[in-house]
Amino acid sequence: MAEAALIDGKAFAQALRARVGEYAAAFAHQAGRRPGLAVVLVGDDPASQVYVGAKGKACAAAGMASFEHRLPADTSEAALLSLIERLNQDEAVDGILVQLPLPGQLDEQAIIAAINPDKDVDGFHIINAGRLAVGQTGFVPCTPLGCIMLLKDRLGDLSGLEAVVIGRSNIVGKPMAQLLTEANATVTIAHSRTRNLPEVVRRADIVVAAVGRPEMVRGDWIKPGATVIDVGINRLPPEPGKDRGRLVGDVAFAEALEVAGAITPVPGGVGPMTIAVLLRNTLIAAYAHAGMPAPEGL
Tell me, letter by letter, the H, E, C secondary structure of 232-258: CCEECCCCCCCCCCCEECCECHHHHHC
182 occurs within a structural domain: yes
Query: Are 177 and 68 contained in the same domain?
Result: no
Q: Are residues 163 and 218 in the same domain?
A: yes
On the question of pLDDT at 110 being above 80, the answer is: yes
Q: Specify the pLDDT at position 298.
A: 85
pLDDT (mean) for 12-40: 97
Q: Is the pLDDT of residue 72 over 90?
A: yes
Total domain count for the chain? 2
Q: Is there a single domain that holds both residue 87 and residue 150?
A: no
pLDDT band at 238 (very low <50, low <70, confident <90, very high): confident
Specify if 134 maps to a domain.
no
Asked if residue 157 has pLDDT above 70, the reply is: yes
In a domain, 126, yes or no: no
Q: Is the pLDDT of residue 43 over 90?
A: yes
Phi, psi of 293 (to 5 degrees): -70, 140
CATH for 199: 3.40.50.720
Region 157-161: mean pLDDT is: 98
- Please check whether residues 184 and 112 belong to one and the same domain: no
pLDDT tens track for 182-230:
999 999 999 989 999 999 999 999 999 999 999 999 999 999 999 999 9
Taking each helix axis from N to C end, the angle separating 142-155 and 9-31, rounded to the nearest 10 degrees, works out to 110
Q: Of 50, 83, 117, at which residue does a domain stop?
A: 117
In whole numbers, what is the pLDDT of the chain averaged over residues? 96
Q: What is the DSSP-derived secondary structure letter of residue 101?
A: S
Q: How many CB atoms lie within 10 A of CB 129?
A: 21
Residue 179 sits in which domain range?
Answer: 142-271
pLDDT tens-digit map of 13-26:
999 999 999 999 99
Does 57 reside within a domain?
A: yes
Check residue 192 and give its pLDDT. Answer: 85
pLDDT at 256: 98
* 110 shares its domain with 210: no
Mean pLDDT of 26-54: 93
Asked whether residue 147 falls in the same domain as residue 107, the answer is no
Q: State whether 149 and 254 are in the same domain.
A: yes
Q: Are residues 176 and 245 in the same domain?
A: yes
Comparing 41-45, 47-51, 79-83, the range with the smallest average pLDDT is: 47-51
55 catalytic per annotation? yes
**pLDDT average, residue stretch 55-61:** 94
Kindly state whether residue 56 falls inside one of the protein's structural domains. yes
Given the residues 122, 205, 230, 250, the one annotated as active site: 122
Residue 8 domain flag: no
* CATH number where 89 lies: 3.40.50.10860
243 vs 284, higher pLDDT: 284
**240 pLDDT exceeds 90?**
no
Consecutive H or E run containing 228 = strand 227-230
Same domain as 74, residue 168: no
- Give the span between the Cα atoms of 292 and 93, in whole angstroms: 16
User: Catalytic pick from 94, 99, 178, 205?
Assistant: 99
Q: Is 122 a catalytic residue?
A: yes
Share of the chain above pLDDT 70, in %: 100
Do both 106 and 148 map to the same domain?
A: no
70 within domain boundaries: yes
The predicted model gives 132-159 an average pLDDT of: 97
Q: Contact, 147 vs 270, CB < 8 A?
A: yes
158 and 263 share one domain: yes
> Is residue 7 in some structural domain?
no
Same domain, 108 and 159: no
- What is the pLDDT averaged over residues 268-293? 96
> pLDDT band at 245, cuts 50/70/90?
confident
Evaluate if residue 1 carries a pLDDT over 80: no
